[in-house]
With several copies, the nearest count.
Chain A
């Protein structure tokens, strides 16, 4: 069973809801190593997204995701705006014209998104950013693709890897973004962006599972 444009819409709505519910949590994480706004940034951004996509039931997945990207860039207001904006724009480019995604499309979509984040943030794995959730997720996705598991299982594995990647950020020293201003003192705190990334990947797994 492929992921349809309808599934993607549901995913985006679920993401908005989950990010709204976790607004205070994400902000708390950001208050330890940043400026205490990641929750409100993401909530504001995805709130704008669901308004924007409310009438897009007929749109293909590429159009949908590109709309998400431009909306996030315009509304998030933090470093995560250009980062998630670029991620969704690249995901949209990788799925242009499609109304349904097979396993390979999903992996390609995530890979494009992660490459976009890397390029935008000039960052790589281990710098205590959202990439530390996203890179393990895409690696798990590729491995699952090799193992030819079904899409719900693939997404479940991606979400699990995002979660453990997110947890691994606790031990890392930030070398990008505001948290890098803390230097060694950033160790011991979970990265807010890695956490929102996990929430978003988890939301897709949950949407497809249900």
Chain B
């Protein structure tokens, strides 16, 4: 099984868009679960959505959580604290840029890499070339 990915965003559309873009690169081999927006559909985060997404993406290889803004870290951390310790150990919260990190993480995860490798791949999102050509 491939490392799972959780996308936490303040916007439901943003989370779904990231999952759709990253999912294109992993050909359905990677579970990309989303937690976007609040429970009532406004802009914000929802611990219940994060918890559900963590459950959906949970697997023996681990899960990488990517976030849109710093304030989503707190809700993600609270959701992690609610997991039992073995599960919690298999989850990493990434500091990578959301979109770029998710695409690279999806590519890496679909290759069967470890959680650590997927997390490192996501961090390469900082260097994703966008016009500054190598």
Tell me, yes or no, whether A and B come into direct contact in the complex with CB atoms closer than 8 A: yes
> In the complex, what residues of A have CB within 8 A of residue B27's CB?
31, 36
Chain A, range 50-103, C-beta contacts under 8 Å to B: 73-79, 81-83, 85-86
> In the complex, what residues of B have CB within 8 A of residue A31's CB?
27
B134 touches A83 (CB 8 A): no
A82 touches B78 (CB 8 A): yes
Interface of B is mostly: loop
A120 touches B42 (CB 8 A): no
User: How many residues from A make CB contacts under 8 Å with B?
Assistant: 29
> In the complex, what residues of A have CB within 8 A of residue B103's CB?
181
A207 contacts partner chain B, Cβ-Cβ < 8 Å: no
Question: Which of B38, B47, B71 sits near A178, CB closer than 8 Å?
Answer: B71
CA distance A44 to B43 in the complex (A): 13
A120-B74, A178-B25, A181-B104 given; A37·B43 CB < 8 A: yes
A185 touches B111 (CB 8 A): yes
Chain B, range 1-46, C-beta contacts under 8 Å to A: 24-25, 27, 38-40, 42-46
B107 contacts partner chain A, Cβ-Cβ < 8 Å: yes
What is the CB-to-nearest-CB distance from A127 to chain B, in angstroms, rounded to a whole number? 10
User: How many residues from B make CB contacts under 8 Å with A?
Assistant: 26
B89 contacts partner chain A, Cβ-Cβ < 8 Å: no
> In the complex, what residues of B have CB within 8 A of residue A74's CB?
39, 46-48
B85 contacts partner chain A, Cβ-Cβ < 8 Å: no
A77 touches B78 (CB 8 A): no
> In the complex, what residues of A have CB within 8 A of residue B77's CB?
82, 120
Residues of chain A at the chain B interface (Cβ within 8 Å): 31, 34-37, 40-41, 44, 73-79, 81-83, 85-86, 120-122, 175, 177-178, 181-182, 185
What 5 pairs across the A-B complex have the smallest Cβ distances?
A: A77-B44, A77-B38, A82-B74, A79-B71, A35-B24
- What are 29 residue pairs bridging A and B, where the CB atoms are less than 8 Å apart in the complex? A31-B27, A34-B25, A35-B24, A36-B27, A37-B24, A37-B44, A73-B47, A74-B47, A74-B48, A77-B43, A77-B45, A77-B46, A78-B44, A78-B45, A79-B71, A79-B74, A81-B74, A82-B75, A82-B77, A82-B78, A85-B78, A121-B74, A122-B133, A177-B70, A178-B25, A178-B71, A181-B103, A181-B104, A182-B107
